[in-house]
Copies of this chain bind each other. A is one copy, B any other.
């Protein structure tokens, strides 16, 4: 399975690394870090989830610190974020509040893409390494939310995964689809991509509908 899915895993990881790295760079721009700070946050966000995954599975040194594909992807994404910085700053000079809104929205959608591909690639890698089914599901979820959580903690924010919206659940669903398909010997590339689309669909629907999980009312209604 390791060989059969190697290309698929690489493709998923490259997409996820790029999406998360750009999101990290944009959060760095919004936080007004300098160019190196933006680049470092892009690297940590892009590679963080995969490094946590590899450490949990015992694949050390993690691919994220030596695979040329991974490093090339994160380098490209961090350069893109750094190049976008003056444009975004220029924009914000003319329309002060637009920059924050625009970045916030872009980060949400980039996160959704990264979440979807990393949930699937994390579960695939855990299966390939022979981890038990429950572990495969949780490794998928941790891979999916890890980079974004690191980014938010480092930028001084409470991680998205703890805040208002449907976030960890689609990752768990996507990883579960992969693991169940594998246990039924039905795990093909089509199934894996379908799982990606499923996670992405749920997460994007949540963003669009502002579909929030019930939370405590801030102001008590009449008793």
Contacts and interface: CB of A to CB of B under 8 A. Distances in A.
A191 interface: no
B135 A66 contact: yes
B134 A68 contact: yes
A40 B138 CA distance: 12
Interface stretch (A9-17, A101-109, A197-205, A211-219): A211-219
Interface residues of A, number: 62
Interface stretch (A30-38, A110-118, A182-190): A30-38
Contacts of A85: 216
A161 B39 CA distance: 10
Interface string A118-144: 000000001000011011001100100
Determine how many copies of this chain the complex contains. 3
A37 B163 contact: yes
Interface in A155-171: 155-159, 161-169
A49 to B, nearest CB: 15
Nearest to A70: B134
A93 B217 CA distance: 10
Contacts of A66: 131-132, 134-135, 138
Given A33-B163, A34-B215, A85-B216, 6 more contacts: A34-B164, A36-B167, A37-B213, A56-B61, A93-B220, A154-B158
